[in-house]
């Protein structure tokens, strides 16, 4: 009896191990790329802390690819998106990128949404000579490391210094602010680096940053820090962060009686901000972004997105869509799935019409595109400035 | 704002934050009290409660209070189902296995809801006016008061249930010694099930109130509050109902003061550091009795 | 040569054979770079789970802060290799030493706590370590440390793993290990048998932390970047899952647990939407059918077909 | 000659409750002494005081001429006092052999590095420990059960294993807390022989708590009687049997 039980246990364990071994072997091979398709790896934050940004970016990308496929593909070839989950974590992003490149044999990688995750896959892609398009990783070091351009990395958004500069000038010149407080998301590279640039530029222009504070992703309650920031009595508050927290920050700031302008960056660009904060609270706030939804040239994208997903796009979706457009254009010009040729074509992107405007690639693999500053006014967004690329 | 009034404002902020922790901690502590399980899925039950409330308001067009009740009932039942399916079969297994199961349930609820309701945050419709009340120069939000009041009422109610009702006595008996309780004719499984139901309903109440107050819910919203509530429960002495309340408030106040006077980046670190310090001097929490093993 | 030496030699040969096969398959291109990376991660996770097992499984001290020690090893080693251009081995040793030192400092006061209280205290300490790292700009703060040289190779992780397993195996089969196990079984009786319980708890904690630090060093040099978000309490849970799944107090169990969890997650990578849901269900079901873990308290060698691997325990059943 | 163990005026308070008061005991080298008393008289508390589990509120305990007040249990064991427990405390998931091996802990000389690298004194000492452990198990008729899990042993065997384990710590003084509890008369008889034998063989001093009067009266040379934390009587078995105080304490009645 005892022996039988033992035997069963051993058998069960061996079976389990073999089963897993089978899975291992099964997944080891990967499919060979069929000749009539172009495989694109979509490495995004499907789960984890920033899953909502990863998913939104993916939706935009998917829309661009679907449109291209509906129009007959590229030179008769359809584009297939192969999804992988980076779990909002750098090491998992590297893992997923390795899978897409080595198992799925993709020609191009798109994503992930956040800087840290993109940085983790740069070397893997570079070693395999597969280009990456990072739709919304805004840190300069994504494309330029120690003064050297990363040959296989491109992006479809503008970089932090650009935006920080724009908002510092706006605060100083348009809002006539002499003093400011900065409130950043210390779990985000994007937010921290924007906060730093803003401070440098604002102080260089003669302003003064009185207080710098930080919060963490997924925080719910900001009142304690906001109360502290209020004691500084500054003319403006700069919150370079993503919409989920921004909505709550604006709402709570107004609740505790902060009436001064609150300004931010493209992370604010989501209809949810108004839902969370409420349109009254959102008055007297300004942010920079890539386009105004009033702009006629952006309308086709917004309509198409609305039709496909039954919701308005946010900035992540727009940048994902732009990344898709860049990709399609590059594959078209490269005339095939060869990664080297696609890389070259991406670098030569010029005057391409994307969802949010016209875009050209500069020598550092950063797009040259317009920026706009929008004001939230009674639930509407009004364009207050348009900054064309220099 | 001078130092004194800044301090008072931060205390108000802390108490309001702390009552949210306390509300979740109450359920945590009840479940722990009865089967000594750190139910890591509790924070996710709270998240489910928020979503049930959300759909009750937006899809079924209910008012806030009916939605709160519906959410508490539905989530309470969910808690009982989870207990029945995932924990009950492991009643005699090592405690750590049940803990791992709880982590599994937590993952399942998080990623399941990520799949079904998408990771995009949802916003609660306005169900209250969010006017800040200004009392003697300090701003208090109506909802803050509401959350605090509801937490207080629930704590008193729970203490009453546990101390004076039949089911409460059964709970204490099961908590003290499950087997002896069963010999005395108590249906321990039913008592445990009810405890999970009540605990989960409390979490749901917390979820809906927080959803209304902060106005945004998402599938991962339960992780941090769940952890903080656990810290609060341990701080007060896990298994003790007033301890959970006190622990929650203390934790909230610590966080507000650290954010307000030191730096918000060290807020969580400070909260944990204080927990550890308290444990070093009072190894069973503030309200816990030190029981030495009999040799 | 005595039986124990012979046994060790046999394990060593077995290890070398496995190494030879896997390495051959890798070099021969039979294993693609995705599985190559995941095999490296499996080895690192084995170091993590085995070292956590020493604390949780053998000594019975419920620690939930293992990822914190990994983080310390990770950051100390990358500072040395990246900023001071030291070789990997120096980074590994320094990372392990730093984690061990911290483990000892933390262990001394906290290991007086019992059960769940110790669990939450160690969880808190792990989080404190992560938050502190997040606020140090020298190591990149929340954004992470970039530009790390890619030094971790399969031979490195495999042999480090082998050393770890040998270390822990020999440790638990000595009087020091037995002292730790006695503490798990009955702390009061252990004290009455002349065992300095505090010393051995701290010793187990320190050794566990040291190996977590070494694993951290290896982990860091797999990727170009590391950031604090890889070391949250969720990561600690993950290692705990490996240990419990394999079986507390079983070294073979730790190996199996780390293998199953990592391989399952990698194998499910093609279905990103369902990966975590399936993982969660698998976890619940496994606990259902084997609440004591795959191996319980016993090693593989306790089962008849594998008993030839261990001849020291002559009369075992 | 100085007594091996001497407790003078020991008081132990739990909150306001005096568990033991003005407790005076001495044990000469090589004696076999009994400690008896009704339930709750403070016998186990006395053991816990001798072994460092509790610290006396006041008073002095000397062992081998040195004070052991303030020492931790493991330090006292290292000085030479080993004990068994009233509610058996075996390392229940481990094998019978490992239970005994653990208790050799304090007499092992090899260090951590030797153990991990399996060099130096490790192999020889481990072999010695194994031999000695099996030897001890043989004395207690447990050798054929050496590889069984301790918790699966019958009750009487578990009690014997506890004694074997305590002996492995190589004590000078052995404290036995109700060693015959739960044993049948025949087992008790065997145990009595065994206790006598090990005392001679290992040159031990033994203090035992026991309710089984036949055992106590049969083997002890002197007996202390505790009631409500006080020693009410002290003497040879005959003296104790005829002591009116003891009869009152055990049989009740007006004092």
* Residue C223 contacts D, CB cutoff 8 Å: no
Q: How far is C112 from chain B (nearest CA, A)?
A: 8
Statement to judge: residues A147 and A195 lie in one domain: no
Task: Tell me, yes or no, whether A88 lies in a domain.
Answer: yes
Statement to judge: residues A148 and A80 lie in one domain: yes
For residue C317, pLDDT beyond 90: no
pLDDT computed for residue A173 by the predictor: 92
* Residue B292 contacts D, CB cutoff 8 Å: no
* Residue C176 contacts D, CB cutoff 8 Å: yes
Task: Tell me, yes or no, whether D162 lies in a domain.
Answer: no
Place of tokens 């009810």: B194
* Residue D48 contacts B, CB cutoff 8 Å: yes
Say how far residue A179 (Cα) sits from the centre of its chain.
30
Q: How far is B288 from chain D (nearest CA, A)?
A: 17
Task: Tell me, yes or no, whether D151 lies in a domain.
Answer: yes
Statement to judge: residues D245 and D181 lie in one domain: yes
Average pLDDT over residues C78-107: 96
Average pLDDT over residues B155-175: 90
**Successive 10-residue mean pLDDT values, chain A, 390 residues:** 44 48 44 70 92 93 95 89 92 93 93 90 92 92 89 91 91 94 90 92 94 89 92 94 93 90 93 89 93 88 94 92 94 88 92 89 90 91 82
Q: How many domains does chain A have?
A: 2
Task: Tell me, yes or no, whether A104 lies in a domain.
Answer: yes
pLDDT tens digits for range C29-75 = 888 889 999 999 999 999 999 999 999 999 999 999 999 999 999 99
Long-range contacts of A31-36 (CB under 8 A, 24+ apart): A31/A104, A31/A105, A32/A105, A33/A105, A33/A337, A36/A76, A36/A77, A36/A78
* Residue C281 contacts B, CB cutoff 8 Å: yes
Residue spans per domain, chain C = 2-229
Statement to judge: residues A182 and A228 lie in one domain: yes
CATH of the domain at A192: 3.40.50.2300
Task: Tell me, yes or no, whether A40 lies in a domain.
Answer: yes
Task: Tell me, yes or no, whether A324 lies in a domain.
Answer: yes
pLDDT computed for residue B128 by the predictor: 66
Task: Tell me, yes or no, whether D165 lies in a domain.
Answer: no
Statement to judge: residues A186 and A117 lie in one domain: no
Among A289, A310, A328, identify where a domain stops.
A289
Statement to judge: residues D75 and D124 lie in one domain: no
Task: Tell me, yes or no, whether D163 lies in a domain.
Answer: no
Bridge partners, residue A285, by sequence: A262, A376
Task: Tell me, yes or no, whether A246 lies in a domain.
Answer: yes
Backbone angles phi, psi at D149, to 5 degrees: -75, 135
Statement to judge: residues D177 and D72 lie in one domain: yes
d(CA B209, CA D107): 63
CA B187 to each of CA A205, B76, B173, B181, B184: distance values in angstroms, whole numbers, following the listed order: 74, 19, 11, 8, 9
pLDDT computed for residue A304 by the predictor: 95
pLDDT computed for residue A30 by the predictor: 41
What Rg value do the Cα atoms of chain C yield, rounded?
19
What is the percentage of chain C residues whose pLDDT exceeds 70? 95
Task: Tell me, yes or no, whether A25 lies in a domain.
Answer: no
Task: Tell me, yes or no, whether D89 lies in a domain.
Answer: no
pLDDT computed for residue B5 by the predictor: 83
Statement to judge: residues D71 and D197 lie in one domain: yes
Domain that holds residue A107: 36-158+296-369
Statement to judge: residues D134 and D244 lie in one domain: no
**Contact at CB, C191 and D122, closer than 8 angstroms:** no
Phi-psi category of B285—alpha, beta or left, where left has phi over 0 and alpha has psi -120 to 50? Answer: left
Statement to judge: residues D122 and D180 lie in one domain: no
pLDDT tens digits for range D102-161 = 999 999 999 999 999 988 899 999 999 999 999 999 999 999 999 999 999 998 899 999
State the DSSP H helix or E strand holding residue A85, giving kind and residue range, or none if neither: strand A78-85
Task: Tell me, yes or no, whether A133 lies in a domain.
Answer: yes
State the DSSP H helix or E strand holding residue D225, giving kind and residue range, or none if neither: strand D222-227
pLDDT tens digits for range D230-252 = 899 999 999 998 888 888 887 76
Statement to judge: residues A191 and A274 lie in one domain: yes
* Residue A173 contacts B, CB cutoff 8 Å: no
What's the mean per-residue pLDDT of chain B?
89
Domain that holds residue D142: 94-157
pLDDT computed for residue A35 by the predictor: 67
Q: Which of D100, D108, D211, D219 is nearest to D162 (CA)?
A: D100
Most confident of A375-389, B121-135, D66-80, D239-253: D66-80
Q: Give the nearest chain B residue to D14 (CA atoms).
A: B292
Statement to judge: residues A171 and A266 lie in one domain: yes
d(CA D119, CA D123): 7
Q: How many domains does chain D have?
A: 2
Among D134, D157, D180, identify where a domain stops.
D157
Statement to judge: residues A251 and A168 lie in one domain: yes
pLDDT tens digits for range B45-94 = 999 999 999 999 999 998 888 999 999 999 999 999 999 999 999 988 88
Statement to judge: residues D140 and D184 lie in one domain: no
Statement to judge: residues A142 and A229 lie in one domain: no
Task: Tell me, yes or no, whether A106 lies in a domain.
Answer: yes
What is the percentage of chain D residues whose pLDDT exceeds 70? 98
Statement to judge: residues A111 and A48 lie in one domain: yes
Place of tokens 């007297």: A284
d(CA A342, CA C16): 44
**Contact at CB, D74 and C175, closer than 8 angstroms:** no
Statement to judge: residues A87 and A233 lie in one domain: no
Average pLDDT over residues B241-256: 93
Chains near C with 3+ CB pairs less than 8 A apart are: A, B, D
Statement to judge: residues D69 and D193 lie in one domain: yes
- Please answer whether residues D98 and C178 qualify as being in contact, where contact means their C-beta atoms are separated by less than 8 angstroms: yes
CATH of the domain at D49: 3.40.50.300
ipTM: 0.90
Q: Give the nearest chain D residue to B293 (CA atoms).
A: D53
For residue C310, pLDDT beyond 90: no
Which residue among C110, C123, C291 places its CB closest to the CB of B94? C291
């Amino acid at each position: 009896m005892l022996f039988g039980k033992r035997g069963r246990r051993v058998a069960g364990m061996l079976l389990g191990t073999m089963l897993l071994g089978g899975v291992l072997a099964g997944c080891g091979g990967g499919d060979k790329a069929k000749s009539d398709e172009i495989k694109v790896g979509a490495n995004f934050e499907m789960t984890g802390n920033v899953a909502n940004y990863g998913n939104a970016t993916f939706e935009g990308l998917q829309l661009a690819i679907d449109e291209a496929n509906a129009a007959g593909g590229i030179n008769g070839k359809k584009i297939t998106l192969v999804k992988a989950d980076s779990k909002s974590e750098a090491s998992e992003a590297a893992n997923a990128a390795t899978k897409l490149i080595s198992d799925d044999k993709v020609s191009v990688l798109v994503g992930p949404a956040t800087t840290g995750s993109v940085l983790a896959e740069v070397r893997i892609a570079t070693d395999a000579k597969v280009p990456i398009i990072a739709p919304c990783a805004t840190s300069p070091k994504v494309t330029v490391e120690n003064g050297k351009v990363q040959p296989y990395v491109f992006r479809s958004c503008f970089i932090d210094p650009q935006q920080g500069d724009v908002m510092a000038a706006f605060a100083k010149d348009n809002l006539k602010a002499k003093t400011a407080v900065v409130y950043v998301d210390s779990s985000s590279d994007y937010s921290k680096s924007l906060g730093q640039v803003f401070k440098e530029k604002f102080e260089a222009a003669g302003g003064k940053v009185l207080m710098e504070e930080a919060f963490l992703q997924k925080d719910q309650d900001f009142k304690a820090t906001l109360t502290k920031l209020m004691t500084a009595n500054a003319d403006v508050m700069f919150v370079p962060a993503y919409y989920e927290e921004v909505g709550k920050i604006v709402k709570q700031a107004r609740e505790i009686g902060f009436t001064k302008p609150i300004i931010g960056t493209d992370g604010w660009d989501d209809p949810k901000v108004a839902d969370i904060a409420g349109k009254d609270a959102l008055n007297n706030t300004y942010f920079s972004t890539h386009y105004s939804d009033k702009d006629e040239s952006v309308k086709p994208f917004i309509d198409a997105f609305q039709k496909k997903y039954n919701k308005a796009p946010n900035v992540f979706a727009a940048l994902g869509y732009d990344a898709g457009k860049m990709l399609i254009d590059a594959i078209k010009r490269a005339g095939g799935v060869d990664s080297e040729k696609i890389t070259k074509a991406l670098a030569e992107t010029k005057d391409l019409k994307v969802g949010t405007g016209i875009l050209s690639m500069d020598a550092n693999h950063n797009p040259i595109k317009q920026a706009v500053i929008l004001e939230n006014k009674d639930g509407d967004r009004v364009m207050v400035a348009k900054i064309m690329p220099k | 704002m001078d130092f004194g009034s800044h301090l008072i404002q931060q205390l108000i902020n802390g108490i309001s934050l702390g009552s949210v922790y306390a509300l979740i901690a109450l359920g945590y502590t009840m479940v722990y009290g009865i089967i000594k399980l750190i139910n890591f899925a509790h924070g996710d039950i709270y998240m489910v409660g928020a979503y049930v409330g959300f759909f009750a308001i937006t899809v079924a067009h209910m008012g806030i209070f009916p939605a709160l009740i519906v959410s508490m009932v539905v989530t309470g039942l969910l808690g009982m189902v989870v207990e029945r399916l995932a924990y009950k079969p492991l009643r005699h297994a090592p405690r750590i296995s049940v803990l791992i199961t709880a982590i599994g349930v937590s993952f399942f609820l998080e990623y399941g809801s990520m799949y079904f309701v998408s990771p995009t945050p949802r916003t609660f419709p306005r169900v209250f006016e969010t006017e800040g009340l200004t009392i003697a120069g300090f701003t208090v939000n109506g909802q803050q008061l509401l959350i605090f009041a509801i937490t207080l009422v629930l704590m008193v109610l729970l203490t009453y249930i546990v101390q004076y009702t039949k089911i409460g006595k059964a709970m204490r008996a099961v908590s003290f010694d499950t087997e002896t309780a069963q010999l005395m004719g108590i249906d321990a499984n039913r008592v445990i099930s009810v405890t999970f139901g009540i605990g989960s309903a409390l979490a749901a109440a917390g979820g809906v109130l927080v959803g209304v107050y902060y106005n945004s819910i998402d599938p991962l919203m339960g992780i941090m509050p769940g952890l903080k509530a656990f810290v609060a429960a341990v701080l007060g002495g896990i298994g003790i109902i007033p301890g959970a309340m006190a622990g929650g408030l203390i934790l909230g106040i610590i966080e507000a003061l650290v954010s307000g006077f030191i730096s918000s980046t060290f807020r969580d670190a400070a909260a944990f550091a204080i927990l550890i310090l308290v444990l070093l001097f009072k190894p069973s929490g503030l309200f816990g009795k030190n029981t030495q093993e009999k040799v | 040569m005595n039986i124990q030496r012979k046994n060790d030699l046999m394990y060593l040969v077995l290890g070398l054979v496995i190494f030879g096969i896997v390495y051959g398959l890798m070099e021969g291109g039979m294993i693609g770079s995705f599985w190559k990376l995941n095999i490296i991660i499996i080895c690192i996770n084995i170091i993590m789970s085995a070292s956590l097992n020493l604390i949780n499984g053998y000594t019975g001290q419920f620690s939930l802060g293992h990822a914190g020690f990994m983080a310390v090893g990770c950051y100390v080693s990358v500072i040395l290799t990246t900023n001071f251009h030291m070789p990997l081995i120096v980074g590994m040793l320094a990372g392990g030493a730093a984690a061990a030192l911290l483990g000892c400092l933390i262990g001394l006061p906290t290991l007086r706590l019992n059960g769940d209280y110790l669990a939450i205290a160690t969880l808190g300490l792990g989080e404190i370590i992560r938050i502190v790292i997040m606020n140090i700009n020298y190591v990149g703060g929340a954004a992470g440390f970039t530009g790390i040289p890619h030094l971790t190779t399969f031979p490195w992780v495999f042999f480090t793993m082998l050393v770890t397993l040998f270390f822990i195996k020999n440790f638990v089969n000595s009087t020091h290990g037995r002292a730790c196990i006695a503490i798990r079984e009955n702390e009061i009786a252990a004290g009455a048998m002349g065992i300095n319980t505090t010393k051995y708890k701290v010793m187990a904690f320190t050794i566990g932390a040291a190996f977590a630090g070494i694993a951290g060093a290896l982990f860091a040099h797999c990727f170009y970047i590391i950031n604090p978000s890889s070391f949250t309490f969720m990561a600690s849970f993950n290692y705990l899952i490996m240990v419990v799944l394999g079986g507390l107090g079983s070294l073979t169990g730790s190996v199996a647990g780390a293998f199953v969890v990592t391989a399952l997650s990698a194998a499910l990578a093609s279905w990103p939407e369902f990966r975590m849901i399936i993982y969660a269900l698998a976890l619940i079901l496994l606990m259902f059918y084997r609440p004591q873990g795959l191996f319980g308290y016993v090693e593989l060698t306790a089962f008849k077909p594998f008993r030839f691997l261990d001849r020291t325990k002559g009369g075992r059943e | 000659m100085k007594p091996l163990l001497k407790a003078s005026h020991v008081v132990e308070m739990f909150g306001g409750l005096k568990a033991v008061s003005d407790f005076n005991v001495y044990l000469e080298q090589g004696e076999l002494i009994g400690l008896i008393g009704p339930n709750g008289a403070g016998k186990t508390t006395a053991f816990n005081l001798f072994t460092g589990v509790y610290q006396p509120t006041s008073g002095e305990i000397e062992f081998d001429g040195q004070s052991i007040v303030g020492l931790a249990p493991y330090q006292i064991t290292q000085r030479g006092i080993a004990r068994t427990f009233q509610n058996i405390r075996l390392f229940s998931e481990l094998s019978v052999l490992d239970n005994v091996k653990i208790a050799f802990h304090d007499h092992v000389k090899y260090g951590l590095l030797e153990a991990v690298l399996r060099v130096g004194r490790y192999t020889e000492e481990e072999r010695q420990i194994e031999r000695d452990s099996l030897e001890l198990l043989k004395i207690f008729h447990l050798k054929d059960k050496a590889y069984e899990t301790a918790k699966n042993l019958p009750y009487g065997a578990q009690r014997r294993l506890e004694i074997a384990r305590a002996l492995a710590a190589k004590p000078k003084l052995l404290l036995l807390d109700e060693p015959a509890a739960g044993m049948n008369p025949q087992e008790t008889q065997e145990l009595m022989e065994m206790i006598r034998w090990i005392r001679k063989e290992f040159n031990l001093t033994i203090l035992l708590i026991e309710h089984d009067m036949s055992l106590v009266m049969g083997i002890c040379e002197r007996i202390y009687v505790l009631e409500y934390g006080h020693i009410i009587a002290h003497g040879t078995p005959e003296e104790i049997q005829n002591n009116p105080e003891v009869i009152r304490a055990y049989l009740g009645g007006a004092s």
